[in-house]
Structures are given as C-alpha cells and as structure tokens.
A and B are shown apart, each in its own frame.
Chain A
Amino acid sequence: MHTTVLLILILPLALAAFNGLMGLFVPAYRKNEWLIGGLGTLAVAIPFVLTVKLFLGFHGEAEVVHFFTWMAAGDLQIEFAYRIDQLSLVMTLVVTGVGALIHLYSIGYMHGDSGYWRFFAYLNLFIFAMLNLVLAENLLVLFLGWEGVGLCSYLLIGFWYTDLKNSAAANKAFIVNRIGDFAFLLAMFVIFAVVTGKTDGAFGLDFTTLLAPETLGLFGAGTLLAVALLFFVGATGKSAQIPLFVWLPDAMAGPTPVSALIHAATMVTSGLYLLARLSPMVLMAPTAMTIIAIVGALTAIMAATIAITQNDIKRVLAYSTVSQLGYMFLAAGVGAYFVAIFHVMTHAFFKACLFLGSGSVIHGMHEVEHELEHKGFLGSHGKSEEEDPLMAVELPYEGKFDAQDMRTMGGLKRFMPLTRWTFLIATLAIAGIPPLAGFFSKDEILFKAFELGYNGHVWSYFVWIIGLVTAVLTAIYMTRAYLLTFEGTPRWPDAMDTKPHESPWTMTVPLVVLAALSVVGGFVGLPAVLGGSEIHHFLVHDGHGPVAEPHHEFHVPVAIEWGLLFLGLAIAAGGVLFAWFVIRWGSRGPEADTSVKRFFGPLYGTFSRKYSVDEIYQKWVVNPVVNSARKIFAPFDESAVDGAVNGVAKLVQGIALRLRGIQTGVVQHYALALVLGVVVVLALMLLG
C-alpha cells in the first residue's frame, strides 16, 4: 500500500521534473516528441493501473499512509499523509484515467508546438497536484494540491505566452482563485483554533480527527456555519460558481486538452470534492447547505442562458461546464453528496469527450485556415486588412477567420466522422437522453432536490424547478453546438475545395474511449426504481463510508419517482428535438439564432453580454484597487511618509544652519557671550 501510493504520487512529479528540466537545459531534447509525450503519458497511465489495483483490492476500510512530517510548530503538526477510501479512489480513478487519455490525445494535438516539452511537464505536474488534492489525509496537503492545480492552471492558460491576452487570462484565473483560497485559509484557521482550544495535544487538520463525531461536537452552530461557508467560498473559486466563476470562460485561452482535463473534467470539480470530503461537517450547517444549493442552481441557469448565445465552440463548452458544476453544487446543497460525485464522474467522461472533440474540430479548422492562407484567401498572420485586400473574403461574421467560431463551421460530419459520432454521443449524454451517463446522474440530482422538498423543505422545490429549466436549456444549447458544427453545409470560404481531415489516432482513440464511457458510465448509479445505485452503496456505505447524507423521514412514492424519471426523459428529448427539428440549427445555420433572440427578447442581450459581470467587477473591484494603488497609496508614500522623513532632515539642517551663525569666529563675540553667561549664572545663584 505504502509503495503503491508513493508510486502513484511520485511518477507524475518525477516525469514533470524530468521533461521540464531536460527541455529547459538541453535544447536538443525538445525535438523528441514521442519520447516526451510517451513518458508523460506513462507517468499518468501507470498510476491509473496502480489505482485500479488498489480499487480492486479495497475492502471498505479507509487506510491512511504516512510519509513524513511537513511542518510542526506548537500545537500544529502536519503530516504528508494520504488517505485511501471510497471517495479518494473514485476521484483518483477519474483523474488518472481521464488524465491518461488526455495525455495520449495531447501527443497528437500538440505536435509541432515549440513548447511541447513544457506542455507535458506542466500537465504531469498538474496530475501530481490533483492527486495530492484528492488523496490528502489532511486539509493542508489538500490545500497544497488545491493551490498546485491553480498554479498549473495558470501555467497552462498562459501556455502560449507571446499573446498577452493568454497571460492576462492566466493572471485572472490565478488571482480569482486566490480569493477563494483566502477563504479556505481562514476556514483552516478557525478549525485549528477551535480544536486546539478545546483539546490537548497536537492537531494536524487531519480528516480522521476532524470528522470524528466528538471533534465535530466541539464546534458551535455559528462556527460551523462560518467554516462551511468559508469552504464554500473557496469552492466557488476553484469550481467556478457565482460570484467567482468569471475566470473559467477566459481560461479557454489554454490549449484544448487543458480545457478538457483541467477546466472540465478534474480541477474544477475539486470544490465538489472538498464539500463531499467534509460532508459530515457541512451537513451540520443547514443554512450553509441551503445557500450552496441556491447558488448552485442560480449558477446552473445563468451559465446555461449564456451558453446558448455563444459562437465560440470552446466558450459554449466552458459555460456549459460552469452550468454543470452548478448542478453538482445543487446536489451537494440538497445533501446528495454522492450524486454530486457521481455527476463529477459522468461529467468528466462526456465533457472531456466534448472538449477533446472540439479540439479535434479546431485541429481540422486550423488545417482549413492554413490552406486558405496558402491559397491567398486570408491575410497571412500579422498583416492587417488594409495591407491585404484578399482578407476581405466573405466570412459569416465580421473580423478575422477564427478556427473556433462555429459560424464558420458546418457540415463537418463528412470530413471527421469519428469526431462527429463521439461528439454526438457526448452531446446526447449531457442533454440527458437515456440510457447515456448524463441521464442518470442529472436525474438523480433533480430527484434528490425534489425529495428534499417533499420532506418539507419548500425552497428545495424552487431549486428543483430551476434544475428542470436548466435541463431544457442544456439540451437546446448542446444540440445547437452539435448542429452548427457538424450538420448542414460548410460555411468557410472556398468550402468546395478546402477540406479538413479527421485527426490522427492518438486523438481519436481517447474520443472513442470517452464516448464509450459516456454511454455506460451511468449504470453505476441507477435510480432506486431501476435497481438501486452502486455508487451510492459504495460511497455512503450505510453510513460508514466517507460521504455523509441526511436522513429523510418521508420516501417519495414509487409512482412519483417513475413520473419524475419520465419527466426528465421528456425534457431532454424535447430539448434535443426542439433544437433539431423546430429551430433547425442544422439546416438554417447561425440564422436560426434569430428564433432564440425573438423568444427571449431583451433578455437575450443580457445573456450574450454575460450579465456584464466582468464589467461590474472591473468597475467596482479592479479599478478601485488599481487606482488607489497608483493614485493614492504610491503618491502618499512618496510625499507624506517619505516627505515627513525628509522634512525632519530638512528641519534639522535648517536649525543647524541658523545655529552656525553663532560661530562667527570673532573672539570678542565669544568673550561677550562668556561674560553674559557668567552674569546669568551668578544671578541665578543669588536669586535661587
């Protein structure tokens, strides 16, 4: 066990260091793409195999592996210790499994990039950090992973650093995440102060101690609420929820495999993982739970309404991710932590598949772009339209050719059949068409929200309804994305003679595997009426597992449960069919958006402006800080604080210059002063 865990953790780190340092210091090494990519992929694939071994040998008892002491001071004693239990195993399987596929995919996708070595080093480092996050036995090692994945996210969003836009997006991601991390830190402070204040001996912020009923009993209701909310704020940063979701859409500036791995399948789910890990604690703060559910529901619907207006294929997927994460928080908030984790898993399959599919599409569209450039249809990079009249070739929108814009796509199913089929399957999965994976996990989330409402928490009906509406929207915007990309006729210039090709096998194999998982992945979580949920049994384990759940007095009658199941089916199918056959994005192309515009009226503008959240933050947060630093604090430091120092110096100098006047050098003056002095002293003596 000890060695296995060590290997799982150390392999990605070692290969990150190896590829990174070799690439940095030995320029000749950078050319060995297959070696770099192969080693990088193995560094994740081997841990996956090892995790499968652990999983198969797991007998229901959590095990903790200690390595060495990280830091110890006073009552604080933090160990590098890792925890193997149901929850960490599920997460590790997803991280290493999906991770290995995406590494494989990157071998082809990143081919020819001058930063190939850097990419794999960062990606492996990310896996290492993510494994620390999900395997940690205490909050601080979890936090190491938490900030570590943030670092890798920063490095990979800004991967193509010669474009300042990418670096700005990277900065935004890191700083917004740091705001969440700030809350995470405060939560740890509170926990430490409470536990060491009320018990003797050292405390290591470890889950074994913290989540034991006697430790949880030390916390008052107010403190619990504060801690739960602080962790939730931390989670809103990493998992892109209101109010800290703004960084995720911009994060799409990174290479597409990064969007798939970090910004869809794994890192962004760490907030959910955190809440699930702490579920015994969070469950004791009902107010926090309500807030989590409502914020999740609002995020879900807000992001879905934005997604429907986007034309950049990756941005549609990004907002879709925010929306799906909202679903997961909704699940957590209604107490269904195991469903949240279930949705983390199924979402990892279909969203990674969608992102990698979009990457394959972009790969193809880049081919189109290069060919068009070669033929002289597009201005070569760096030239403006004025310099190059051929730029004025007709695009379906204003501006330059953009390989990610769905308005230039269309009809790709003829050129990229594998990409098309896998994308379609994943689209149907996320839309919630049975028996694909998304149907079961999403349906269970909605059912749990309904169940809580049924047990007297009326607000839960509210989030349930929002969830239903979001489900319709999801089916519509995802079908729209599929139709605009793959159906209809090609809309790029010179489409008759300029054709993209299917991507190489390293890219299509992961697509096929992920599509297959999107088909079967849901069967581990069947609803009760269809035989019951394996994953529920595994994670909750009759109250002995790591994931807690609330006790419900009333069971939803079987008839209603069936009814809800069919309602879910109807909504998903209705959405898909509506988009396909009523709005007809396939045959009408981007034209069809007008139907949506007409339906939403002025709201559509709000959606497409993304509710102006970025602008509001810019105006009310960023600008005040920047301006106060530049216009108040820096000048204040120079004139007031330093001015005072120099003022004192000037004052002393001034006095000295005056006093210097006394030293006239004329002996008579000194003699006079002497006499006067004697007189004064004598007078004082006589009078005194």
Chain B
Amino acid sequence: MNALASIPHIVSLVIFLPAIGALVALFVPSDSGVKWTALITTVATFLLSLGLYLGFDPAVSTAEAPQLMERMNWFPGVNVSYFVGVDGLNLLLAMLTTLLGPIIILSSWTYIGEKIRGYYSLMLLLQTGVLGVFLSFDLVLFYVFFEITLIPMYFIIGIWGGENRIYAAIKFVLYTLVGSLLMLVGVLWLGFAAGDAINGGVFTTDWYQLVSYGVPLGAQGWLFFLFLLAFAIKVPLFPFHTWLPDAHVQAPTGGSVVLAGVLLKMGTYGLIRFTIPFFPNAAQQFAPLLGVLAVVGIIYGALVAFAQEDAKKLIAYSSVSHLGFVVLGLFAMTTEAVQGAMIQMVNHGISTGALFLIIGMLYERRHTREMADYGGIAKSVPVLTFFMMLTVFASAGLPGLNGFVGEFLILIGSWKSSMFNGALVILATTGVILAAVYLLWMVYRTFFGEITHEENRTMKDLNFREVGLLIPLAILMVWLGLGPAPFLDKSEAAVQAILNTTEEKALAVEAAADQADAVVQVPLRWPDAVAASE
C-alpha cells in the first residue's frame, strides 16, 4: 500500500482531482454520466488520500516542513508560494473530507432532481476548496481556498435549497465574508511585519516563518481578533452562529452534510493552525473569554436545540453545542484538551454528517422536516431507526462510541488547564446531560409511540444504497469510540509542538516587550519524547 504514498505530487493530486472531475462532469453527455463521474472522482480521491494516511509517519518531525510536501514559488519577489503538505494537524481532517466525498455524492443520487450537472460540479469544486484549506502551508494560498469554498456552497444552498434558500445563501456568504475580509487585512499586516522582522524585508506568508515569528505585544490584540472573528463565524461560535440554522435548514442534504461535516471544521482548524500559535499572548489573555463563549454555546445551543420543531434546525443547534466543546478544548491549551478537540472535529463530522443524512432520507420520503409529521415510525422503518439510534448515542457522547472520546479528553484537559475556572468546566460538563435531553427528545417524538400519520405506515425502509452509505460512518463511530488511540497518535506530537511553541513564544514576546526593536523568533519545537502508545 505504501506505493500509494510514493505517487509524486500526491498531495496536489488529492486536492485537485475533484476539480478535474468537476471539469470532466461539465462535458459528460448524460445526467447519469455526471453522477458516475462525481462518484468515481470522489472514490478515487479517497483512495488516493489513503496514500496521505499511509505515507504519514507521526514519529517524523514536521517542525521544519510538512511531510509529502510540495512547494513552488507563486508570486516573484515575495515569499508567497504554492506550499502544501501533511502534518498531524491536517491529516485526519483531510481524510474526513475525502471520506465524506463519495458519501455526499451518493446521498444526492435521487435527492437532487434538477440541474444535475451544476450540482455535482459544484460539489466537486467545493471538495477541492476544502482540501486546499486543510493542506495549505501558505497563508495566502489558505486564504484563496478559504474563499473558494464560499462560491459553490452559495449556489448549492441558493439553487437546490428549500423554500427560503436565497435568504439563507446570501446570509451565509455575507456573514462569512465579513469575517474573512477582515482576516485578509490581518494576513497582509502579518506578512509585511514578519517579512521585515525575520525575512530580510521580503513579504512572507510561509506558515513556518509566521509561526516562528513573535508578533509584538501591542499588535497581537487586534490581529488576534481579526483572525478570531473569521474563524469564530465559521465554527460558528456563540453569538456568531445564527447563519448556521438557516443555512442547514435550507441546504439540500448533501449541502448540510458537507457544511456540518467539514466546512465548520475550517473554523476550528484555523484557530489551532493560525490564531493560537500566531498570537500566543493574546490567545492566553483571552482564553478565559473564549472559554466562556464556548460554554455559553454548549449550554445555549443545547437549550435552543431542545425547543426546535424542525429536525434539521435541532441538529444545527446541536452543532453549535458540540463545536462549543471543540473551542473550549482548543483554548484550554493542554495536550489532552487540544487532542480531544482534534478528534472531536472528526467525530462531529461523522456523527452530525450521519444525522443530516438520515434526516435527509426521511425528508426524501415525506418532504417534511417537522418532527410532528413523523411519530412512531420505528415500526415502519426499523433499519433507519437503528442507524438513527446509533448516531444519536454517538452524538450524545456514549462511551464506546466516537463522541465520548473527544468530549472526555476536552473536559478532562480543560479541568487541568490553568486557563479556565473549574466552575466553567463544570458548566461545560452539564452539556453531556443536555445533549441526552434534546437528542432523546427528538427520537422520542419522531420514532416512538403509535404511528400518528397514516402515510408513515407504508414508509419504505432504507434501500441498499442508503444502507451502504451509512455503514462506513457507523463503523467509524464504533472504531473511533473503541480504538481511537492510533488516530490520536497521528496528531499528538504536532499538537504538543504547537502548544510548546505557543507557550515559549508567549514568554519570549513578554520578555522582549520592553526592548523597542527586539525581534522574537521561536521555531516550532518538536516534543522530545513522543508520548505514543508504546
């Protein structure tokens, strides 16, 4: 299998194969040809991406350069390059993206009935965008991919969405654009400042240079907030979350899956890749504030979820709650918590992705998202009910399934963290009670009791295709629940390196605060002994 890893330019291939597929899809004559092109492309991308997984060795340091790296100068005269590769932070997220690819395509198979060519091309383009976001090691390149993802998603919601799709699509684009444009200002400032300080006056957006550069204390505050806002909106962190329920409710199933599964992770990923290590002092200073927002999100998201009548809206708010855990873990800045956040990103993608898939399957049968229109359907669709229950318990953090691992590590690491007050973590932990409340309430109303609507009595259970696309997710829920150690191992050293650097750099910047023109540079330090599972 290692032959896969030795394919030249494998990272670029993984990123751009979907875009190539999108191009092909434009010229394929028939609708079914388009679908098959999309399916084959995404399956091929997933198989290729296994090369990333197999080719990545967590024991090899990525302190100086990523593994499987590719680099080409982009703009002459400045240090802006096409720079991609794999390290502990992005590997699993890239894998999640490629895994969800075929699942999303298959879930749209009968759901999308019109403008098929456009839908699948945009979906493929979106995948290239997301993979580019995760695999870039240059800030400008990252930014380009980050914005590229907006366009396909805008059309997917706006064309194939529900009754209120235009409002939702515009809200989604404008809201996230406000954040990312502000971040662009920060990117430019940072590029010039770092260029002046450590790159001989040449503008640079090389991640390795930027992460080693200690931004002066005075500039860190506002830069931190520019970078934070873009990602906080994307996550979305309370109180920037209101675009999410609208987008989810209106988006077609495939759009919801990709949105919840991977697009939101671009926000949390941005926090740990850029915001925290670039501006360590500000991150430490504001961590308690972020912790409070995260915990408000956990509890508030859960309570609002509980009050929903629309199943998709309920799950959208549950995402606000679950991603609150991720943000809490990231700003705890302990290895346990950040590792928990890393795995929780993947877990949330799998379980929330599955939840949206299942709701989508119900929607295809009955064309309603209102829970009151179901009731007692466990009797008519036992297989669907099985997958729903499994996913619900994964999502509610039942030990043995995937959600628990992330939540537990986040909470135990946050308790240990010096960033947060113990009371905050206790409040966060009530999230495990609330998650059970709103999720069980949902299945109670939807699946149990006597069948309340005659038309549900003859509802068809899952077909072969639908079972097939849920099975990989179901397997992963159990696998990541009982055997997460090999996956955690992939990111352990990289997370420790980021945390070490954040801490060292914060001290160095602090120490240099009195000297007017001191330049602080702290390269990534690889942990001495990787606390692997040996």
Residues of A bordering B, CB below 8 Å: 24-25, 68-77, 80, 140, 143-144, 146-148, 151, 154, 158, 161-164, 167-168, 171, 174-175, 178-179, 181-182, 185-186, 188-190, 192-193, 196-197, 202, 625-626, 628-630, 633-634, 637, 641-642, 644-645, 649
Whether, in the assembled complex, B102 has its beta carbon less than 8 Å from a beta carbon of chain A, the answer is: no
Q: Which residue of chain B has its CB nearest to the CB of A197? A: B416
Whether, in the assembled complex, B219 has its beta carbon less than 8 Å from a beta carbon of chain A, the answer is: no
Q: How large is the interface on B (under 10, 10 to 19, 20 to 34, 35 or more residues)?
A: 35 or more
Q: When the two chains form their complex, are residues A74 and B300 in contact, meaning their CB atoms are under 8 A apart? A: no
Chain A residue numbers with a CB within 8 Å of B239 are: 641, 644
| Distance, CA A70 to CA B308, complexed state (A) | 36
Q: When the two chains form their complex, are residues B242 and A645 in contact, meaning their CB atoms are under 8 A apart? A: yes
Whether, in the assembled complex, B513 has its beta carbon less than 8 Å from a beta carbon of chain A, the answer is: no
User: Which residues of B in the span 258-291 have a Cβ within 8 Å of any Cβ on A?
Assistant: none
Given A147-B398, A185-B408, A163-B533 contact (CB < 8 Å): no
Whether, in the assembled complex, B12 has its beta carbon less than 8 Å from a beta carbon of chain A, the answer is: no
Q: When the two chains form their complex, are residues A73 and B303 in contact, meaning their CB atoms are under 8 A apart? A: no
Given A73-B492, A161-B447, A186-B429, A178-B436 contact (CB < 8 Å): yes
Top 6 nearest A-B pairs (CB, nearest first) are A74-B335, A73-B339, A634-B307, A642-B242, A164-B449, A189-B415
Given contacts A74-B335, A75-B531, A644-B239, 12 further A-B contacts (CB under 8 A): A70-B483, A72-B533, A162-B376, A162-B450, A167-B449, A174-B440, A178-B432, A178-B433, A189-B425, A192-B416, A629-B304, A641-B242
| Distance, CA A193 to CA B416, complexed state (A) | 5
Residues of B bordering A, CB below 8 Å: 171, 174-175, 239, 241-243, 300, 303-304, 306-308, 334-336, 339-340, 376, 378-379, 382-383, 386, 393, 398-400, 405, 408-409, 411-413, 415-416, 425-426, 429-430, 432-433, 436-437, 440-441, 444, 447-450, 482-485, 488-489, 492, 496, 531-533
Given A74-B336, A182-B430, A182-B433, A645-B175 contact (CB < 8 Å): yes
Chain B residue numbers with a CB within 8 Å of A164 are: 444, 448-450
Given A171-B444, A178-B433, A73-B340 contact (CB < 8 Å): yes
| Distance, CA A630 to CA B309, complexed state (A) | 10
Q: When the two chains form their complex, are residues A645 and B243 in contact, meaning their CB atoms are under 8 A apart? A: yes
Q: When the two chains form their complex, are residues A167 and B444 in contact, meaning their CB atoms are under 8 A apart? A: yes
| Distance, CA A148 to CA B401, complexed state (A) | 10
**Candidate in A178, A202, A625 with the most chain B CB atoms within 10 angstroms:** A178
CB distance from B296 to the nearest CB of A (A): 11
| Distance, CA A637 to CA B412, complexed state (A) | 30
Chain B residue numbers with a CB within 8 Å of A626 are: 306
Chain B residue numbers with a CB within 8 Å of A161 are: 378, 447-449
Q: When the two chains form their complex, are residues A74 and B334 in contact, meaning their CB atoms are under 8 A apart? A: yes
Chain B residue numbers with a CB within 8 Å of A178 are: 432-433, 436
| Distance, CA A182 to CA B407, complexed state (A) | 12
Q: When the two chains form their complex, are residues B416 and A68 in contact, meaning their CB atoms are under 8 A apart? A: no
| Distance, CA A190 to CA B422, complexed state (A) | 10
A and B contact pairs by CB, cutoff 8 A, 26 listed: A24-B383, A71-B409, A72-B532, A73-B335, A74-B335, A74-B336, A74-B413, A74-B531, A147-B400, A148-B399, A158-B448, A161-B378, A161-B447, A162-B379, A167-B448, A171-B441, A174-B440, A175-B436, A175-B440, A625-B303, A626-B306, A630-B306, A637-B300, A641-B242, A644-B239, A649-B171
Q: When the two chains form their complex, are residues A171 and B413 in contact, meaning their CB atoms are under 8 A apart? A: no
Given A72-B488, A158-B448, A24-B436 contact (CB < 8 Å): no
* Complex partner residue of B485 from A71, A192, A197, A634, CB under 8 angstroms: A71
| Distance, CA A185 to CA B496, complexed state (A) | 25
| Distance, CA A167 to CA B449, complexed state (A) | 8
Given A642-B242, A645-B243, A76-B336 contact (CB < 8 Å): yes
Q: When the two chains form their complex, are residues B399 and A186 in contact, meaning their CB atoms are under 8 A apart? A: no
Q: When the two chains form their complex, are residues A76 and B412 in contact, meaning their CB atoms are under 8 A apart? A: yes
Q: When the two chains form their complex, are residues A72 and B489 in contact, meaning their CB atoms are under 8 A apart? A: yes
Given A72-B489, A181-B432, A189-B425, A633-B304 contact (CB < 8 Å): yes
Q: When the two chains form their complex, are residues A185 and B448 in contact, meaning their CB atoms are under 8 A apart? A: no
Chain A residue numbers with a CB within 8 Å of B175 are: 645
Q: Which residue of chain B has its CB nearest to the CB of A181? A: B432
Chain B residue numbers with a CB within 8 Å of A179 are: 433
Chain B residue numbers with a CB within 8 Å of A71 are: 405, 408-409, 484-485, 488
| Distance, CA A158 to CA B389, complexed state (A) | 13
Q: When the two chains form their complex, are residues B303 and A633 in contact, meaning their CB atoms are under 8 A apart? A: yes
| Distance, CA A649 to CA B412, complexed state (A) | 40
